[in-house]
Structure 1
């Protein structure tokens, strides 16, 4: 730990101690110190007796003191996390000062410098820029356990810590900042840590919009300036068109897979809210631009094009023209901006009128897809003056830019005006693509009802796949509509249909880009994709041109249909499935609308839960190569959408390493990836961190696509390597499924040795924890599955099964490692980015896991035979993988190759442990004393215990810095 970081942690710890005394008395701080020292001593020298003593110390405390202790350790982690983040930024600043004028590592400039040194010509750079696109996708997946109020207080504390970082503060200013910091920590202590109720879908939308308003919107232009500067520096004199290489997407308010609270009405509200948000951000930017562009036509000329544009504005808005002539006669730029502000105001009002109509329609039962259609607001001139598209706003800005550049204002044009033009190009009028996701089974059930009603098929669900495909293809080609205007099917089917109708309406009224993608979860057959094509046709998103016949249809398509492949079986069969679709004329026509580009989403979470860590990674790798080959055969431009989570067990890990580990020929300058829960806060709450994350991602995409050196490490698999991986994979998959799905005692172990039942009460998201009502492992969502294994410190989804796979491949029948195989694996680790990333991510999980704490959680399992059997298998598999990794890497200990993380875990563990001990103690008591038949006089005590358990879950998540 560097000196400034140590000083920050010390200062924050001291302030927290003072607050604990103020708020809970000296006894609270004494107890915290007592437990902390016990925990450190146990970490220094573990003994079963010492562990039992710490457990008893936690169990002896009364519930009020226990609650305060849990909150004290939780607050400590919140503050330490802030200090560490500030430490990372400080390190980046120091590196930049030290390396200047050379670009800092993993920046956009560093990528362009490397390409130049490797001899990559400008023509290749131009080709990359023509297709490069990076798309973070924000989701409402329930992995953020902290309330919005808590996050806002933490952001204020971080701002104050940053201020105190400056050494040139006067004593009075420093004293004032420290006092403000004490106030903020005090307010944080008096703020509820967890939500009292489950958030609504619109609250989740508000949380995501917060990041756009307070961080992302202002940060984006800097990335574009970085790229422009790097191109000028390393490829001087070369003409480049700066592309829109960064776009954002959003699932909140639109992802209805397993979430009954996301309705067509919620999606419509979200789309309009996003438009309102971005237009108001443009308003603020225009206000600042008006202040900045005080240029007078008496000091510098103004272009004739701008004067012509002003004449048109005066004709559209004569009342405003009279006012402007009186106040800014010589300030043409300010006049132009004033007209633009008025046009934006009218556009915002029109969008708001649509929202108001939808609210009114709700009261009388009118569907959201028809509410307020053809709504006319204001006078005719107002309707004519509002902006119909972002291209109109951009054209107005371009008129100002052109005038400045023609009249000695090049440098002026490159400032806030250029930034705003970038923002309009990136965010449009929709802010972010609002991507709808639904389970394939919902579409099949809806179509079964529709087909039965109209007499096309009595029992669609019982048809074979070939019969379903034939029926869907025939109906997709048929211009004849299937559906009535007024829907009278079951509520579930009506909702499916209404969702597509709302998507079309939002494309018309908000922006075509706002609802352009439709993700089909659990895609398992080609008919799942044609089902969505047919439903989109019925809603008018896919339109058959007039005069077309079923035999020769011509279609216009405004919808990307994105299949999501999640299980191991579906990943294996998806190449043949996609080949069938590519060769289906009606589907190929739909792809033609997007220049034959097919987006395919691959799921890391569910494939991991289905087949385990190693199998998931290997099957995803193989599937990407196979799909890429099939797509290339049929002339399809392929883009992968990576459904990753924050934890290793859900595809998490360092983003830049993951990009470099993709199979050759699958990236091609484009990356789309989910950003979930606590990852959104970690990467996007602070604009500087957001910039660093996205510049690293951009660096990795550029290098992985064009760098000869990087591409050499991603060459196609040698047959021998693939064969070895298949051997490892076969054993790993069998080992994982034998424990998780074939051992009937595993379910009981999981339910009792983890807080999975309690997690459902944490109110992290609007979506339920399980897809069904049962407690089968198969019914459980991947996120709470991973979250639970993180809480009990097993981290099982991040490594289990791989140990047996490597052991069988490494060791011969005599129990000795094969020297030849060891060298093979070492070469794979040193030369193959995929394999190195795989092992390093497994190390991250193994390093974070703790067998002593895991064993403590296993004591919650009532049946000793179940406990001993299952934990015994987990422990043995853990040791097998540790031994294999150390043998392959040559390390002395896990995480020796990632010393910063190794040290962070070592320093944090003594502070996380007390929370685990409290959690285990209270889980045991709560389950024993607070069953369904608990008497009323004990209810308050049981509720209090549950509240402390939930706070301990929150605290452990803060301590280990991950949930799911």
Structure 2
């Protein structure tokens, strides 16, 4: 039951319960645990006191062992540190489970942002007709990705879920059993997961959480808000594991097909379970026979998929409608709501469950087309390109490609990547035949820099035998860097005018999806500039799309911490103005964001409703929002430009990357076995900034507890305007513009999760000390100015439960952070023995797990 004071609810149901249940760890009957349980509070206090007194991580660890836990040699000390790491990992899991269990006491499930609150506000303001009209077309598309921002294996995710349920019931005996199970369950993958492994892990959320929570939302809207039959699913699921090829050599066409089959199997299993439950209630004459037949058919589809006749959405809906009609005609509509609920789920999930997106880099497509041409010519077949193709202008290249009228096979390629690209396009067709068109109907082009990149993909489909006059696939450009975002308007305007692409869009209901990536934009241009660049790109793309009669849908590559576009995502969407098309909310959900926002039925339903409500409110209550004035725009442009310059200057520091490599676990991401993708693009041994992926980049700053991508440049931008006597303008911007206020709020979250005493020792380093001082100065400046701007005394003052959660989690992992920094320091000793070196590297990798997992509330 939700309490009116969320911070009080947090203390009673999270903080106090954690203190009680954490004591159970000390009683675990496993080797060395009791000793570790007794010593860990002492180590934690040593860290707290040590950092207050200016000690280094090395001094804190060595003082602790000298005073409290004498060891005979360094190897024994490392072994003890491993036990602390294992213990703390499990404390984080316990805290996760307790927070999950307390979700509905800390959050008001029917409060602001819920569908009930949305309905009530529309009712009292006389806006119900407008609300119903908006609900007929508005959707949220949640796309689950396997980006490795979380380190829990599937077995541990299951324990978190079950432990949370036991804690919610205060079932002490069961809690104790789960904690014992936790004590002997491995927390890391011994080998790198395959894309199929990642997909199977994510399917746990589809089957156990999202199937039910999305169904509940659909039922509520259909039954309580709409007055007529509904054909809009409201919420759709997307899926990247098995389809995201960008920089992942382990994803191929075979993997895509296997995962599509797994998704089909998973949703049919859900229907089969529901039909079996219904069978216990639908015992009426005639109805019972229909239910039994459908149960048998679903059984065959689940357990003998190859031999059985595949059931499709239309057939399944027809059989359920037949059951429903008979119940209405002859059996007083008893249990009709349960049948309606299953019908609704079939409408939402079909036989695809989640739609697989295919994603590949534009440079690959260019190379594939050239490889096809070369292979055809080598085999004495007509080529598809003239020999002087590379000398053509972009427009000439497009005209040349559009004249291609050949169909090729896999044998008309000669490189592995070309073969797989062609097979992937064939695989999309196979998935559409088996799972339905919704099963796979989007091809995303990473690093999209021109209209030519779009046409290359269009022509690849034509080469693979697709009818491009009725192409049942959306070609989706991904604009991510600051420069790409600037070019996006011109690229799409050119395409909208191209006759063959106009014809393609007509076949796709005059709709164009455009993906705007955030994390690489932040890595490239800094926090403020990335946000403002995406905002203005959306406005420009909306304007030209409307001019051309196109409904543009924006797909946001956002997730994880604020520096990767996450943070309070619903507030971000609620802050967008009328100049940005509001047809759908589409966003990526990844790693700890999936666990924290969609890990339980209550949290999933709450967060999905918040997203739906944010998008719908923008239209239904448009009068509540202040549009950006020219003054607001100029200010945001200036702030973004200044912060961009400051960030670029920092990025060009000769020690920028070496600093990260020296003092963070950046070089150890590939050894952590948390994801199937390599930690960087390219095959070079030397790390260059352009090849560095956003996740290890942001994650490394997070583990340094400096969180540079979440605020760097913000303070300098604010200070420059303040110095020029324009502080009142900035304060008005914060008060009047929700978009800017949301950026500052999310930046506060990044800063709250920073802890500079951990790395203060770097100040003394002659090479890297200036880098640390530069970061700390920008942090201090930003911290001071955002508090002045917001009128708050502390960071995240307006979100007391969120603040308390972050501080508790940071306290739990403080010893882990200290151990990681200690291990990094020890590895700088060139005389270190090889066996110790290996163990310290393992210690760094293992400490990453708990540190990142504990940051789940960054979402």
Aligned to 2:168: 162
**Alpha-carbon distance in 2 for matches of 1:790, 1:56:** 25
Residues 32-88 of structure 1: per-residue CA shift (max 9 Å, x gap): 121122234457xx2214877524335766112111112222222221222122222
* 1:657 Cα deviation after fit: 0.6
Contact 2:552 2:583 in 1 (8 A): no
* 1:345 Cα deviation after fit: 4.0
1:243 corresponds to which of 213, 232, 235: 232
1:202 corresponds to which of 182, 193, 196: 196
**Alpha-carbon distance in 1 for matches of 2:394, 2:64:** 58
Q: Quick check: 1:401 aligned with 2:333?
A: no
Residues 834-884 of structure 1: per-residue CA shift (max 9 Å, x gap): 01001111111111111212424x36xxx9333121111111111221222
Aligned to 2:91: 76
Matched residue of 1:248: which SS?
A: strand
Residues 523-574 of structure 1: per-residue CA shift (max 9 Å, x gap): 0000000011011112233x15xxxxxxxxxx11111001000110010110
Contact 1:59 1:921 in 2 (8 A): no
Pair 1:410–1:667, CA change in 2 (3 A): farther
Aligned to 2:123: 116
Aligned to 1:450: 372
Q: Which moved more, 1:458-467 or 1:111-120?
A: 458-467
**Alpha-carbon distance in 1 for matches of 2:746, 2:16:** 31
Instruction: Give the 5 Å matches for 1:47-126.
Output: 47-49=53-55, 53-57=59-63, 62-92=77-107, 103-122=110-129, 124-126=130-132
**Alpha-carbon distance in 2 for matches of 1:918, 1:929:** 19
Contact 1:640 1:666 in 2 (8 A): no
Pair 1:450–1:193, CA change in 2 (3 A): same
Contact 1:844 1:895 in 2 (8 A): yes
Aligned to 2:350: 428
Contact 1:957 1:963 in 2 (8 A): no
Instruction: Give the 5 Å matches for 1:173-572.
Output: 177-231=171-225, 238-239=227-228, 241=230, 243-295=232-284, 331-348=285-302, 352-353=305-306, 387=311, 389-407=312-330, 409-410=332-333, 412-414=335-337, 416-452=338-374, 453=377, 454-455=382-383, 456-458=385-387, 460-461=389-390, 463-475=392-404, 480-484=405-409, 486-541=411-466, 543=467, 555-572=469-486
Contact 1:435 1:516 in 2 (8 A): yes
Residues 463-520 of structure 1: per-residue CA shift (max 9 Å, x gap): 4322222222333xxxx31424643422221111111011112212331111101111
Pair 1:904–1:346, CA change in 2 (3 A): closer
* 1:684 Cα deviation after fit: 2.4
**Alpha-carbon distance in 2 for matches of 1:498, 1:39:** 55
Contact 1:628 1:638 in 2 (8 A): yes
**Alpha-carbon distance in 1 for matches of 2:303, 2:23:** 51
Residues 237-292 of structure 1: per-residue CA shift (max 9 Å, x gap): x5463631111110111100000110011111111121122122212221111111
* 1:183 Cα deviation after fit: 2.5
**Alpha-carbon distance in 2 for matches of 1:86, 1:118:** 35
RMSD: 2.2
Matched residue of 2:768: which SS?
A: helix
**Alpha-carbon distance in 1 for matches of 2:805, 2:703:** 18
Contact 2:26 2:38 in 1 (8 A): no
Instruction: Give the 5 Å matches for 1:902-941.
Output: 902-929=803-830, 938-941=833-836
Contact 2:410 2:419 in 1 (8 A): no
* 1:462 Cα deviation after fit: 5.1
**Alpha-carbon distance in 1 for matches of 2:55, 2:153:** 38
**Alpha-carbon distance in 2 for matches of 1:595, 1:810:** 49
2:697 corresponds to which of 782, 785, 788: 785
2:512 corresponds to which of 598, 607, 610: 598
1:128 corresponds to which of 134, 146, 149: 134
Count of residues in Structure 1 that have an aligned counterpart in Structure 2: 832
Contact 1:4 1:87 in 2 (8 A): yes
Matched residue of 2:659: which SS?
A: helix
Contact 1:145 1:954 in 2 (8 A): yes
Contact 1:646 1:679 in 2 (8 A): yes
1:9 corresponds to which of 8, 11, 18: 18
Q: Which moved more, 1:557-566 or 1:871-880?
A: 871-880
Matched residue of 1:247: which SS?
A: strand
1:607 corresponds to which of 514, 521, 525: 521
Aligned to 1:958: 853
Contact 1:16 1:185 in 2 (8 A): yes
Q: Quick check: 1:841 aligned with 2:746?
A: yes
Contact 2:707 2:753 in 1 (8 A): yes
Residues 750-800 of structure 1: per-residue CA shift (max 9 Å, x gap): 211211011221111010000113301111000110010011101001111
**Alpha-carbon distance in 2 for matches of 1:803, 1:2:** 33
**Alpha-carbon distance in 1 for matches of 2:250, 2:435:** 22
Matched residue of 2:102: which SS?
A: helix
Contact 1:795 1:845 in 2 (8 A): yes
Contact 2:101 2:164 in 1 (8 A): yes
Aligned to 2:3: none
**Alpha-carbon distance in 1 for matches of 2:245, 2:693:** 14
**Alpha-carbon distance in 2 for matches of 1:16, 1:529:** 56
Contact 2:672 2:845 in 1 (8 A): yes
Q: Can you give the 5+ residue segments of structure 1 that lack an aligned partner in the other structure?
A: 97-102, 165-176, 233-237, 296-330, 354-376, 545-554, 813-817
**Alpha-carbon distance in 2 for matches of 1:285, 1:29:** 45
**Alpha-carbon distance in 1 for matches of 2:232, 2:407:** 42
Aligned to 1:794: 706
* 1:669 Cα deviation after fit: 4.4
- Greater gyration radius: 1
* 1:113 Cα deviation after fit: 1.3
Aligned to 1:364: none
Aligned to 2:499: 585
Residues 187-208 of structure 1: per-residue CA shift (max 9 Å, x gap): 2122221111100111111111
Aligned to 1:140: 146
Contact 1:290 1:333 in 2 (8 A): no
Matched residue of 2:602: which SS?
A: helix
**Alpha-carbon distance in 2 for matches of 1:585, 1:488:** 30
Pair 1:670–1:867, CA change in 2 (3 A): same
Q: Which moved more, 1:639-648 or 1:185-194?
A: 185-194
TM-score normalised by structure 2 residue count: 0.93
Pair 1:26–1:682, CA change in 2 (3 A): closer
Aligned to 1:830: 735
**Alpha-carbon distance in 1 for matches of 2:559, 2:64:** 33
Pair 1:58–1:457, CA change in 2 (3 A): farther
Contact 2:753 2:810 in 1 (8 A): no
**Alpha-carbon distance in 2 for matches of 1:506, 1:958:** 34
* 1:924 Cα deviation after fit: 1.3
* 1:939 Cα deviation after fit: 3.6
Q: Quick check: 1:30 aligned with 2:38?
A: yes
* 1:701 Cα deviation after fit: 1.9
Contact 2:566 2:858 in 1 (8 A): no
Aligned to 1:755: 665
Contact 1:108 1:695 in 2 (8 A): yes
Aligned to 2:619: 705
Pair 1:868–1:939, CA change in 2 (3 A): closer
* 1:663 Cα deviation after fit: 3.4
* 1:959 Cα deviation after fit: 2.9
**Alpha-carbon distance in 1 for matches of 2:708, 2:593:** 20
Matched residue of 1:663: which SS?
A: coil
Q: Quick check: 1:640 aligned with 2:554?
A: yes
* 1:963 Cα deviation after fit: 8.2
Pair 1:460–1:648, CA change in 2 (3 A): farther
